[in-house]
Structure 1
Amino acid sequence: MAPIAPPASIPVPSVPVNAAAAAAPAPPSSLLSRTQKFVEENQRLILLGCAVLAASGAGYYLYSSRSSSAGGPSSPGTSTSASGSDSTSAAAGGAGSSAKKNKKKKKKAGDKKDNEKFLSNQGDKGPLLEEIEQPAVPEKKEATSVEKPAEDAHISDVPDAATLESMDEAARNTLGTSLKDRGNKLYSKKDFKKAVECYTKALEVSVRKDAVFYSNRAACYTNFSPPEYAKCVADCDEALKLDRTYVKALKRRATALEHLGRDEEAVRDFTATTIIERFQDEQAAVAVERCLKKLAQKKAKEILETREPKLPSPTFISAYLSAFRPHDKPTLPENPSQGDQTLMLAFDALSAADYTHAVTFVNEAIDQGISWKEGEAEAHNLRGTFKFLIGDSEGARQDLQKSLDLVPSFVQSWVKIASVHMELGDSASAFGDFEAAIRHNADDPDIYYHRGQVYFIMQEFEKAIADYNKSTALDGSFIFTHIQAAVAQYKQGNVGASMAAFRRILKEFPDKGEPSNYYGELLLDQQKFQESLERFDRSIELDKERKPRNVLPFVNKALALFQWKQDIVGADALCKEALDIDPECDVAVATLAQLSLQQGKIDEAIKWFEKSAQLARTEGELVNAITYEHASKAQVHFLKNYPEFAERLSQMAQGL
């Protein structure tokens, strides 16, 4: 297996997270970066290859890459969509004749360019029409007056109904073909309305209904001004009833569906096209990703507008809070108000990791009124923290700014508002916040740790290490500055120094589970599987009494087992154990979804992706979960409608 990406410090172990959210300060974990690396290098395999896995049960390594450039199960080639029934026989994996293969090779050079324009909705000529080889026509009896050579057929040549009834089948089919040919010529002249008339008459007179007639008429509708995409879809439906694997009709319908805003259906058609074309149609693959993105963004927006704010998992919250050195809760004034006393209840709940009650109490305290300025600043700091955790960045910014208006020297509020500004994409304000914090207290080690986190996310590792070292010099008891500096060294390629640093950290903090967990991740990255498993086990043992318990070592161990021994059963059990401890651990859910795909259990994977969407904190995380959910649904739909492809997909899977 190819080595995975080096571990990186991230704020929260979820899949995925946007760059802004990644700047939020929290303890390090490389799990997300490994998953992101996998997603980047295997995107096509995830989005389009699940059907292959479903058909065969074949697995692929979660964190290995077949190629640094291919981007999928095979290097995308040029569009190989065959025309008409040639596509059908090839797609079915049948005995396509060598003549048909040669026909593909002899396609005009312009076909590829125009086909790509069609798929990318470009060009003013519309998609190319196509032909299919017509079956030999039996020798005609006696020519009638309505039978004209194909090139001379016009609408006016179509006889009345009574005359048509008197014509034999061969004559009617010949007339239909000639009308279709006339329609093609009109199409090439961009006379789309008259071309439609010819195709319509061709369908009326022909006894043998031809999928190409419908598809060509559909092409005309897309070139009307304005385009009539609904009619295009209807004609493609008819074409596909006659030829289920008619690739051009699938593409045409998919493009029309996309224009109609029916992206979920478009994803299905583009996915079917891609699989039928053996993953060689790059433009169709791009279209799948484009439609999935639009679909996911639309659904994510709808969900975010209607769902109630919800705290993330205890693992998430604990990770964020532990990135700040603890400080004493505020001292009550001599005559505390009801709001003052409620605020103390909020801090008590926070200490007990009872985050739900902590939120309730701090909201009540602010509503009741807090009698002294420092306490009010603490309350807005705490409420802003929870708003940040539920994904309400703007609300968090307002609360933290209120905290700073009350107590400008409140360094933790400066650091947290810097995180919020990073999530909002305002890095200039974030660095300004750090500078303001330094002006108020240059000896606060939290400032340098969290600024180092931002530099780390920006991959400015030298600056990150300098800030980590500054933080450690001010307070060497905070474990995460040590861990983070060691991880940054690893990212720089200083593997020996990084591993030595971790061994030192293990000695300095023998009773802490975090060093073993993150050291295990580095060992896993180097494929030292046995040693990594021992480290994850040690982390689990050391943290067994921790409240809330850290479940990341369970997920890391699951990944190690899978990567080393392809032990899906063991990996699955570990992730479910993590969920028993923390039912809302998003990284465990995301990993179970991927493991389900490895086993070809797409329906089960879809359920996990739906759960992942429910747990998503940010819009980026939600979009990602919805993308995978609907990609998987498209593949389930394909196998349901094209069961004959199961064997071929199994063969393709073996070659991945």
Structure 2
Amino acid sequence: MPPAAPPEPAPGIVDRVQSFVAENKTALLIGAGVLAAGGAAYYVATAGSSSASTDKKKKGSSGKKRSGGKSVRDADGPILEERKPKPQVDEEPVPGPNYWRRAPLNVGGDPEKFAVNSEELTGDDREPEVAPPTAEALAVMPLEERKELAASYKTKGNAAYSTKKFTAAAKLYTAAIEVTPKPEPVYYSNRAACYVNMVPPQYEQVVADCDEALKLDPNYVKALNRRAMALEGLHRYSEALRDYTAATILDKFTNQGASQSVERVLKKLTTAKASEIVATREPRLPSYTFVSAYFAAFRPREAPKVSDPPSTGDSTLLLALDALKAEDYQHALSFVNESLTQDISTKEARAEALNLRGTFHFLMSDVDKAATDLQESIALMPGFTQSLVKLASVHMEKGEPSKAFEAFDAAISANADDPDIYYHRGQVLFIMNEFADAAENYTKSSSLDDGFVFSHIQLAVALYKSQNLANSMATFRRTLKAFPTRSEPQNYYGELLLDQGRFEEAVEKFDKAIELEQAKSHHPNVLPLVNKGLALYQWKQDLGAAERCCTEALRIDSDCEAAVATLAQLALQQGNIEKAVELFGRQAELARSEPELVNALTYQFASESQLEFMKTYPGMAAELRAMAMAMGT
């Protein structure tokens, strides 16, 4: 689970970034089924989530049993079945029971020398001997007779293949290749099919044969699929994706098996690459927009008590807290790390420092270090409710919902009047799709502190998700009136209006949110700009306006993932795949969690494979765009 930032109505901003192409009847080049990724989340600028383990249950304050949970680490959905359809040879006949009793084709000269040995077979273990003519004999043989002889070997190879005599069939196709006066791609492709079915499969030979077949006929879809299957077997996933993609497009998206193969290989490729990136990249804070939204989700608290005069560690911790108030997050992180190496004077202050460092670890997706710091903070101050609430988020991220609710219960036992507990418990219930219980917790939070805007916003969102549209919109209108100087109600109300297709009203709300953010002395929130860009595109298909909004958002916050993702999708819409690939690469750099990284890489690699197709088949570029448009109508 990503950090518990302020709410985002469903569908969230990243949902719309990823799906607005389909919503506006314009197909991605590979098709929506291949590039489907991501799900709804209530967090600002986060990717989707899916159910975590549901075998642990916990009773909450409502007395209802709750099971399972959601984590963005599972956002890519169920693992696809490893489907590898058995390849078929071309023009394969249905052999009769006495196929091998047939007389060989007379091509002139000694028939036993030039054709398959016609010795009668006595069982399935008997394989024909293949004795092609010598080079000298071929040199004097008429071309037509050589063609007929090659066709004879192919026919017999097909029959051997149909009875699963793959070694014999491969020998026959080899003979066809050797005697033919002009290479035939089908001979290589059929021999590749034999190599695929051998035990173990001879993948390298499959690739070599399909290479030859495709040199002769670049549009040979069966050869592309066979080579792709072999490349997948060799774990050369990028090349396999290239071939499956080409086969899918050449088949005009009608071959469901090829589309499923693209999806399967994309999953393998992106999962492996994401794991490699996560294991090697340096931890980094996400965008300012995301970090500020996270910290805004907790009500302000007084600084901890320290000795008088303060120790060196105390002073450094206070510098960290001052930097946090000033929204100078890099310095806050640096100072809190330094303070924990120094002599902090009180348990309360050290628990606060551990809470803050654990928070930064969580923001940087290092949940294990976050858990260690937060547990140590709680050990020092068992009633530290904020550390308990944040520990609940860590447990949800790790797929441990029952432990998350235990942390909430411990926080309530320590201080039942802390409104933050109920807000964040509502957030957890929200992502578990338990909207009624979530709304109950948001209401409880507001009853303890009516001045926290996000409890009101998220209550309206929960009502909306519960299909209680009238109460949701009324709650938003009351919130707009109660918090006239806050941009968040305007922005999120605009999102609900956008979800309903009320574009003009949505843009009006986004404009108001932008105006309120621009009035700030520093660090405006850029999400209203991104939302406005999406709304203008969905409303008027105004690509230029959408791009300008997102570009302005990136000028203010260069790490805003939602703006990058939107620009990438807009580039796809304009057929600028090179730019889209670049932007999806940037989105991958900004991804905070492994599932978000997988999602960005999925789009990046799929776009790269389309780009490679257009370079290999330049004459099909226009036809491809026409097919994509037709798919979206």
Give TM-score, length-normalised by structure 2. 0.85
1:36 matches 2:15: yes
- Determine the C-alpha separation between the residues in 1 that align with 2:494 and 2:15: 19
Displacement after TM superposition at 1:496 (Å): 1.7
Partner of 1:260: 234
Contact 2:392 2:404 in 1 (8 A): yes
1:338 matches 2:312: yes
- Determine the C-alpha separation between the residues in 1 that align with 2:11 and 2:466: 18
- Determine the C-alpha separation between the residues in 2 that align with 1:615 and 1:653: 29
Partner of 2:90: 130
What SS class does the counterpart of residue 200 from structure 2 fall into? coil
Displacement after TM superposition at 1:35 (Å): 4.1
Matches within 5 A, 1:97-246: 120-121=83-84, 126-131=86-91, 143-146=108-111, 155-246=129-220
- Determine the C-alpha separation between the residues in 1 that align with 2:163 and 2:23: 38
Of residues 440, 446, 471 in structure 2, which corresponds to 1:497? 471
2:490 aligned partner, one-letter code: S
Displacement after TM superposition at 1:168 (Å): 1.3
Partner of 1:326: 300
Of residues 281, 302, 305 in structure 2, which corresponds to 1:307? 281
Contact 2:116 2:131 in 1 (8 A): no
Q: How many residues align?
A: 564
What SS class does the counterpart of residue 368 from structure 1 fall into? coil
1:595 matches 2:570: yes
What SS class does the counterpart of residue 396 from structure 1 fall into? helix
Give TM-score, length-normalised by structure 1. 0.82
Rate the CA distance shift 1:609–1:41 in 2: closer, same or farther, 3 A: closer
Rate the CA distance shift 1:37–1:593 in 2: closer, same or farther, 3 A: closer
Rate the CA distance shift 1:262–1:469 in 2: closer, same or farther, 3 A: same
2:290 aligned partner, one-letter code: F
Q: Report which stretch shifted further, 566-575 or 324-333.
A: 324-333
Deviation string 1:396-418 (CA, Å, 9 cap, x unpaired) is 01100000000000000000000
Contact 1:315 1:585 in 2 (8 A): yes
Matches within 5 A, 1:11-30: 20-21=1-2, 24-30=3-9
Matches within 5 A, 1:510-529: 510-529=484-503
Rate the CA distance shift 1:129–1:486 in 2: closer, same or farther, 3 A: same
2:90 aligned partner, one-letter code: E
1:568 matches 2:533: no
Rate the CA distance shift 1:468–1:190 in 2: closer, same or farther, 3 A: same
Contact 1:51 1:639 in 2 (8 A): no
- Determine the C-alpha separation between the residues in 1 that align with 2:544 and 2:464: 32
Displacement after TM superposition at 1:370 (Å): 1.6
2:28 aligned partner, one-letter code: G
- Determine the C-alpha separation between the residues in 1 that align with 2:629 and 2:580: 21
Deviation string 1:518-552 (CA, Å, 9 cap, x unpaired) is 11111112222111111111111111133421100
Partner of 1:630: 605
- Determine the C-alpha separation between the residues in 2 that align with 1:119 and 1:402: 44
What SS class does the counterpart of residue 264 from structure 2 fall into? helix
Deviation string 1:497-516 (CA, Å, 9 cap, x unpaired) is 21111111111111111111
Contact 1:502 1:519 in 2 (8 A): yes
Partner of 2:96: none
Contact 1:150 1:181 in 2 (8 A): no
Deviation string 1:6-55 (CA, Å, 9 cap, x unpaired) is xxxxxxxxxxxxxx33xx421112376364377579899999833699xx
Partner of 1:551: 526
Displacement after TM superposition at 1:330 (Å): 1.4
Deviation string 1:339-390 (CA, Å, 9 cap, x unpaired) is 1111111111111111111111111110123221111100000000000000
2:544 aligned partner, one-letter code: V
- Determine the C-alpha separation between the residues in 2 that align with 1:648 and 1:52: 15
What SS class does the counterpart of residue 523 from structure 2 fall into? coil
Partner of 1:249: 223
- Segments of structure 1 that go 5 or more residues without pairing to the other structure are 1-19, 54-61, 64-117, 134-139
Displacement after TM superposition at 1:159 (Å): 2.1
Partner of 2:244: 270
1:144 aligned partner, one-letter code: G
What SS class does the counterpart of residue 331 from structure 1 fall into? coil
Partner of 1:73: none
Partner of 1:423: 397
- Segments of structure 2 that go 5 or more residues without pairing to the other structure are 33-37, 40-80, 94-104, 120-127
- Determine the C-alpha separation between the residues in 2 that align with 1:221 and 1:530: 61
Deviation string 1:574-613 (CA, Å, 9 cap, x unpaired) is 0010000000001111111111111111110111101001
Partner of 2:438: 464
What SS class does the counterpart of residue 543 from structure 1 fall into? helix
Contact 2:82 2:264 in 1 (8 A): no
Q: Report which stretch shifted further, 618-627 or 151-160.
A: 151-160
Displacement after TM superposition at 1:573 (Å): 0.4
Q: Report which stretch shifted further, 43-52 or 207-216.
A: 43-52
1:507 aligned partner, one-letter code: K
Contact 1:346 1:361 in 2 (8 A): yes
Displacement after TM superposition at 1:158 (Å): 2.1
Displacement after TM superposition at 1:615 (Å): 0.6
What SS class does the counterpart of residue 469 from structure 1 fall into? helix
1:28 aligned partner, one-letter code: P
Displacement after TM superposition at 1:439 (Å): 0.3
Contact 1:51 1:636 in 2 (8 A): no
Partner of 1:136: none
Partner of 2:28: 49
Contact 1:48 1:635 in 2 (8 A): no
Of residues 560, 584, 592 in structure 2, which corresponds to 1:609? 584
Contact 1:127 1:219 in 2 (8 A): yes
Q: Report which stretch shifted further, 377-386 or 36-45.
A: 36-45
- Determine the C-alpha separation between the residues in 1 that align with 2:614 and 2:82: 23
- Determine the C-alpha separation between the residues in 1 that align with 2:577 and 2:156: 47
Partner of 2:505: 531
Deviation string 1:148-199 (CA, Å, 9 cap, x unpaired) is 7889596555222211111011111111111122222222232222222221
- Determine the C-alpha separation between the residues in 2 that align with 1:639 and 1:295: 21
1:642 matches 2:617: yes
Identity among equivalent pairs (%) = 51
Partner of 2:100: none
- Determine the C-alpha separation between the residues in 1 that align with 2:370 and 2:250: 49
Displacement after TM superposition at 1:296 (Å): 0.7
Contact 1:520 1:531 in 2 (8 A): yes
Deviation string 1:316-335 (CA, Å, 9 cap, x unpaired) is 00010000001011132124
- Determine the C-alpha separation between the residues in 2 that align with 1:471 and 1:320: 17
What SS class does the counterpart of residue 340 from structure 2 fall into? helix
Partner of 2:386: 412
- Determine the C-alpha separation between the residues in 1 that align with 2:585 and 2:267: 16
Displacement after TM superposition at 1:276 (Å): 1.0
- Determine the C-alpha separation between the residues in 2 that align with 1:409 and 1:52: 53
- Determine the C-alpha separation between the residues in 1 that align with 2:164 and 2:27: 36
1:352 matches 2:314: no
Displacement after TM superposition at 1:489 (Å): 1.1
Rate the CA distance shift 1:40–1:192 in 2: closer, same or farther, 3 A: farther
Contact 2:348 2:381 in 1 (8 A): yes
Displacement after TM superposition at 1:146 (Å): 3.7
Partner of 1:387: 361
- Determine the C-alpha separation between the residues in 2 that align with 1:128 and 1:426: 47
What SS class does the counterpart of residue 382 from structure 1 fall into? helix
Ranked by relative contact order (alpha carbons within 8 Å, sequence separation 6 or more), the top structure is: 1
- Determine the C-alpha separation between the residues in 2 that align with 1:610 and 1:410: 41
What SS class does the counterpart of residue 367 from structure 1 fall into? coil
